[in-house]
Amino acid sequence: MSGGARRVLEAWKLGLVRYGDALRLQERLVADRRAGRVSDLVLSLQHPPTYTLGKRRTDHNLLLPEVELRGLGAEIHRTERGGDVTFHGPRQAVLYPILSLRTIGLGARRYVEGLESAMIEVAALYGVKARPGAAGETGVWVGDRKIGAIGVRISSGFTCHGLAFNIDPDLGYFKHIVPCGIADKEVTSLRREAAVELPPDEAIHDQLVQSLARTFFFSDVEVKDESECADMVCLSAATQS
């Protein structure tokens, strides 16, 4: 993207948010971004244990009946994002960018590559050499072990959903699915792969946001915490049941 105008990415730090609440918030914010009521932003959060399926509805990649998955304490959601089944849970960093790709000057492929790049860059901070998926492999990998998932929805150039980067989630939940529809591959985490001590999860969330901002040509990040979002009547709209 050309031009010298200062571009700021808002980062909304929301903590632990139920998946359905985050989905409704994204839907509202995409409409607001399309109408010009908000600027480009990214939601930074975690989910309670949750399995999600993409728009292809690949239920055969759930290895247990839904009632048993719920018995593990997990929610199940079917969405309109791309990608296959995946798991979200505590100690996994989730970023949901709400961006105008036309404003940034990116197409869908370059956007997805940017999400991959952000995770690869953060992994490298801890000595972990990650890579984009090869043909037929979505997300970000360390060797043949998946550390980051990507599932996006782009409508008329506006984005939602995003990435999930495994800091130190309970990897046992992944045993009950075929993660992202790719059989015979392991799922890993930054904690498992790094040879150094990790900082608090919040710091890694922040590093992901900063990397994302640089990748997509933002000159600065303006952080808003949960209380500020509530003041703007943003979070309250999302948490209605």
H helix runs in the chain, sequence order: 19-35, 66-71, 101-104, 108-125, 190-193, 201-215, 226-231, 235-238
Radius of gyration of the chain (CA): 17
CA distances from 84 to 94, 111, 225, 227 (A): 16, 18, 31, 33
Active site (catalytic) residues: 180
Closest CA to 10 of 46, 39, 49: 39
Residues sharing a CB contact under 8 Å with residue 146, sequence separation 6 or more, in sequence order: 133, 137, 139, 140, 179, 180, 182, 185, 186, 187, 188
Question: What residue type is 98 in one-letter code?
Answer: I
Q: How many helices (H) and strands (E) does the chain have?
A: 8, 12
